[in-house]
Structure 1
Amino acid sequence: MPWFPLNQYIWDFWFTWQDSTLHLFYLQASPSQCHYNPERRHNQAVLGHSQLTPWGWQTIPHPQPAFSPGKPGTWDDLAIWSGSIIQQDQKYYLFYTGRRRQDAPQWTAHEWQRPQHIGLATSEDLRHWQRFPHNPILANPGTAAGLDGVAWRDPYVIQGEDQRYYAFICTRSQSAPLDRGGMVVYCVSDHLEQWDNQPHILIESPEFYQMEVPQVFWHKNGHFKRLYLIFSAQAKDCSAQRYEADPSQCVTGTYYHVSEPVSLDCQEFPPFTTKAKVLISGLYAGKFVQPKGENSALFYGFHWSEIGGHFGNGLSDPLWFQFQPDGTVSISTSGFGISNNLLEFFV
């Protein structure tokens, strides 16, 4: 069964480890503060925090939410949006999306949105967070960078094989047609607290209006490796061209891009030369746990909608996916029924 925290709407999420314990951070909003309308959750979002135990996910008690918007008048005083956590030495670095209440919404190709920026907070125990004094650490570069000046969110931060740090960010091209131009770009850092704010394009898509909550990793197979980009999109985000080519590949859910194989010592990001494939329909913001080293990995997503078409809420059961030699990723039926003994797969 999926997991639902008590009396909360939950959606986008990410993982981090504390020694051998897997922690889960996620966007949450109180149904009462949303007047029991989940569509209002985006401006009420704070962070929730749970950890995996032998009895399933257990919410970590905090005096307040795990992380909340900033004080009135600050750059992140409206709501906290998606991010990721990376550990360096004994410190955890939380990169997150924020918006300022006093910023006027701007019209994008599909909707009104406030400009988004990316901030940093640090912790030594995953429970007490201190905002970085020079936030936003990755400010929205705006239209001068060829972007739409609004979308700049969902940072997914990893350490590359060259030991530098990479923040992959969801954004959108300024000049793209209305049904395409979704982008994932990246910025680079040597030590996490100072970034080159010049975005480098990982992909500008001719197939999607937006490519949300990215996860990027290398997967090795023998003497070669491939780069994977996991992202989410709604059916309405797919371009007319993609619908014409294959409507079955236009769903609300999680997708992936995969590169051609490259040598193990390659450190540059290879291009994605084929169309994105549906990884799974109906589960959004999907993430793999430890996808790098094995031919199979566990996957989670949140339920986009229930049978009546309303907001689904809740984290899915873990699903096994298999990485095939040709680069495709497929669900594995042999992995079903493992949730009662999930911890044994992480030790």
Structure 2
Amino acid sequence: MGAWWTLLGHPLWAACTLVLVLVVRAQKRTRWDPRACPVKLHGKTAIVTGANTGIGYCVALDLARRGARVILACRCPIKGTAARDQIRSLSGNPQVDLRILNLSSMASVRDFVQKIKEEEKELHLLVNNAGVSGLPKQFTADGFDTTFATNHLGPFLLTHLLLNLLKASSPSRIVIVSSSNHSKGKVDFRHFTGEQLVHRSDLVYNHTKLHNILWSNELSVRLQGSGVTVNCLHPGIVVTDVLRHYPLRLRVIFNLLGFFFFKTPEEGAVSTLYCAFSEEMDGVSGKYINSDCNLVLPSATARDAQTGKEGYEVCLRLTSNL
């Protein structure tokens, strides 16, 4: 034991550890750097869901710094107000507003959209960022699995109801934050209403992320020629509060590992920003972008056009009367 402590306390060990940390952190950088992108967004209006924390907050801050009018779509008024005030202060942009949105409630989605249509003449960017993981099996007032409602059905309805405004404001973009975990997901439309016999919160999250990509692909087909593009992305493994519903011990381990190996929210926001306004994504639609801002193929299931079309119709039917 004494020999090990002597080794670990040696200056060379400390130096090697520091070099390793720096190398690992350098590998988390993407090929595209938003700080080097000259694109300005004056006169553009953007909506970012889940913008009070994590990736959504960083995306909204960058958009505000580029001059966009940014609408923070958040569930919690207190956290949303704090984020709005901070983004206004850091960006120097007063055109940052908060609108309350609970994606697990279809009534809340419809109320949100109604206010947007009454107040906004244009919409150039919709970032479907908000998501949840780790929830136990529970249901919304509409009868949906809460994770599916928050991660997929709510964003689906939100986007569907805003399509006419996005088309009238074209060129415009829809960005959907998915995950590489979609490859572990399965398609079973009974999942929407929580009818599966076995509920594992991590698996349900994976299912929702798979449906995000299927939806994005089908929507891109339906939007051809409209001037509206839609793309999906994987932000990387990012240290945010998305694990807030998991046991404390798991969150502690995740955050400790995250310091060395995972992305910060600022780094995790890069692929979203790339899809949102980079010149490289002009006119590009129906694609899946990885955390290094490269165009990659999602899983074979995620590329199944017939499944995507069927899923789209199921979502339309489930949300049409809510």
TM-score by length of 2: 0.31
Higher Rg: 2
Q: More relative contact order in 1 or in 2 (CA 8 Å, sep 6+)?
A: 2
Higher strand proportion (structure 1 or 2) = 1
By percentage of residues, which structure has more helix?
2
